[in-house]
Amino acid sequence: MKLELLGKKLGMSQVYDENNNLVPVTIIEAGPCPILQVKTKDSDGYSAIQIGFNPNRKPPNKANSCKKGHAKKAGVDAQQISQEVRLDNGHDLKQGSTITVEDFKDIKIVDVVSKTKGKGFQGVVKRWNFAGGPASHGSMFHRRGGSYGLCQWPGRIFKNKKMPGHMGNVSRTTQNLQIMKIFPDKNLLLVKGSVPGHKGSIITLRVAKKSKI
């Protein structure tokens, strides 16, 4: 079954592994994620579940009426974030049950889906690593991108041209991260290495799709 869990990046630290090597880890607060809805092929045309997550521990009465009503059907508190997880037929997950970090205790490798840090509007030197022009006085071509347009034909700029624009804040998947430690009582999970995103960013934790272990 494709097990997934919503979480929040808390930061980085370092721990010792079984061989007494110091390993950098990312601390993730994962779950608990109640199942808000179960979709089946008969009712919805496909099989999936909808999980929720309350990263800031926001009081349920602060949610809007839509989230309150949706969570009430499952018999759980209103959640700030919800996400769908596609599943195969034959799973035994039920509406109102909860997926926790303890469900990952037998899993060694995971994938983490998160958004990179937003950098705002940036030029071509920072965004695309352009070399820029001469740095001497009077060149008037220090950090520009050069010529973008074309002549009479085709008279436009081609798509995917490297130009200034918004940088960062895009979804990225880090594959095959090793789980170092799990703390079920605190809903914490430590994975080896780094994860894109700032502290407090929302991530999706799933069983690794391309793991060879």
What integer pLDDT is reported at residue 167 of this predicted model?
Answer: 96
Backbone angles phi, psi at 171, to 5 degrees: -75, 135
Q: What CA–CA distance (Å, rounded) separates 185 from 170?
A: 32
Q: Is residue 56 located within the same domain as residue 141?
A: no
Whether the pLDDT of residue 174 is over 90: the answer is yes
Q: Is residue 153 located within the same domain as residue 135?
A: yes
Q: What is the mean pLDDT of residues 129-157?
A: 89
Q: What CA–CA distance (Å, rounded) separates 31 from 51?
A: 10
* Residue 212 belongs to some domain of the structure: no
Q: Is residue 23 located within the same domain as residue 45?
A: yes
What integer pLDDT is reported at residue 210 of this predicted model?
Answer: 86
pTM strictly above 0.85: no
> According to the per-residue pLDDT averaged within each range, which of 65-74, 89-98, 162-171 is highest?
162-171
Q: What is the mean pLDDT of residues 163-190?
A: 93
Q: What is the CATH number of the domain that holds 69?
A: 3.30.160.810
Q: Is residue 80 located within the same domain as residue 47?
A: yes
* Residue 213 belongs to some domain of the structure: no
Structural contact between residues 191 and 24, judged by C-beta atoms closer than 8 angstroms: no
What integer pLDDT is reported at residue 193 of this predicted model?
Answer: 92
* Residue 127 belongs to some domain of the structure: yes
Q: How many domains does the chain have?
A: 2
The token pair that represents 63 in the structure block: 């949610």
Instruction: Give the residue from 95, 42, 98, 43 showing the smallest Cα distance to 70.
Output: 95
Domain around 136: 119-167
